[in-house]
Amino acid sequence: MTGRPAPKKALTIAGSDSGGGAGLQADLRTFFANGVHGMSAVTAVTVQNSVGVTGVAEIPPETVAAQIHAVASDIGVDAAKTGMLATAEIITAIAKAVDEVGIGRNGSVPLVVDPVAASMHGDPLLREEAMEAIRGLMFPRATLVTPNLDEVRLLVGIDVRTREQQREAARVLHELGPQWVLVKGGHMRDDPECTDLLFDGTTFTELTGPRYDTDNTHGGGDTLAAAITSALAKGASVPEAVRHGKQFIERSVQASYPLGAGVGPVSPLWVLDDVHGR
Ligand code: PXL
């Protein structure tokens, strides 16, 4: 029989971006670019292009949970991530479903929680009252959480402007229950570099990279978290996976491109340069 052994499998629990820049579309292409089989449990469908979000249709919570059960019971999941979760009811259903199938800290499958609150245009992707559900239900289940500085402010009320405040935020976020915290420094725009801070409750590790000159950063957080999730699916430790993710997002920012009248996406298309050229 023709074929090959199945690759490792990663699941994204996230929203759809009709413009293809962010959300589950970014996650699935990042899984593919990392040689991992990608699966999705869709939480919401956004009506979106490069300029912004003009509509959101939420998926019924029981349908979100059913997608998780369907893929976990048959195909299996080596690592999972969450993105746009939309409502407290959807988050409650996800928390129960991941516990039932062994994803997250109550099981053995690594879970990356990217606490998505708004699009880069400021359009809300999470109802206001749902941030409490992310804090209370998703953080304690997370192997790793990956907030940017806007999300840090919404989650714990700390307005990070210095490296010391970044450490303080990591400490406070860790107390909410995740095994690891990655406080991303990309939104510290005065910093000529881009320093992310990784913390496991004991040790701080700073990961510093260049700050690239581009406005096309749509889907950057999703791509980073999905690259980390891919590495976890392949058995990497969290620090190894985060290092891989950082390298992957740097190359994907370098390969970002303009699209429409607004903000273009970061892109993992560079992995195919040898096949298709640039
Ligand atoms: O990049 C965060 C994000 C996640 N999920 C969806 C999005 C966005 C940003 O726009 O649209 C569906």
pTM over 0.95: yes
3-state SS, the chain, equals CCCCCCCCEEEEEEEEECCCCCHHHHHHHHHHHCCCEEEEEEEEEEEECCCCEEEEEECCHHHHHHHHHHHHHHCCCCEEEECCCECHHHHHHHHHHHHHHCECCCCCECEEECCCCECCCCCECECCCHHHHHHHHHHHHCCEECCCHHHHHHHHCCCCCCHHHHHHHHHHHHCCCCCEEEECCCCCCCCCEEEEEEECCCCEEEEEEECCCCCCCECHHHHHHHHHHHHHHCCCCHHHHHHHHHHHHHHHHHCCCCCCCCCCECCHHHHHHHHHCC
| Confidence at residue 30, expressed as pLDDT on a 0 to 100 scale | 98
Percentage of the chain exceeding pLDDT 70: 100
Q: Is the pLDDT of residue 13 over 80?
A: yes
**Which of 42, 45, 50, 53 minimizes the C-alpha distance to 93?**
42
Q: Is the pLDDT of residue 161 over 80?
A: yes
User: How many angstroms is it from 221 CA to the middle of ligand 1?
Assistant: 9
pLDDT band at 41 (very low <50, low <70, confident <90, very high): very high
Q: Which residue has the higher pLDDT, 119 or 46?
A: 46
| Confidence at residue 101, expressed as pLDDT on a 0 to 100 scale | 98
| Confidence at residue 32, expressed as pLDDT on a 0 to 100 scale | 98
β-strand partners of 265: 218
**Which of 109, 85, 89, 87 minimizes the C-alpha distance to 99?**
109
- Choose one of 25, 58, 85, 125 to mutate for the ligand 1 pocket test, by most ligand atoms within 8 angstroms of C-beta: 125
| Confidence at residue 192, expressed as pLDDT on a 0 to 100 scale | 87
Nearest atom (ligand 1) to Cα of 218 = 1
Residue count of the chain, please give it: 278
The protein residue with its alpha carbon nearest to ligand 1, atom 1, reads 219
Mean pLDDT of the chain: 96
Average pLDDT for residues 49-69, to the nearest whole number?
97
User: How many angstroms is it from 29 CA to the middle of ligand 1?
Assistant: 14
Give the span between the Cα atoms of 163 and 166, in whole angstroms: 5
Give the span between the Cα atoms of 225 and 184, in whole angstroms: 11
User: How many angstroms is it from 37 CA to the middle of ligand 1?
Assistant: 21
Tens digit of pLDDT for each residue in 180-194?
999 999 888 778 899
Write the burial class of residue 140 (CB in 10 Å: 0-12 exposed, 13-18 middle, 19+ buried): middle
Q: Who lines ligand 1 at CB under 6 A? A: 14-15, 17, 22-23, 46, 48, 83-84, 116, 119, 125, 219, 221-222
Average pLDDT for residues 38-47, to the nearest whole number?
98
Tens digit of pLDDT for each residue in 95-153?
999 999 999 999 999 999 999 999 888 888 998 889 999 999 999 999 999 999 999 99
Tokens 């997608």 belong to which residue? 67
Give the span between the Cα atoms of 245 and 36, in whole angstroms: 14
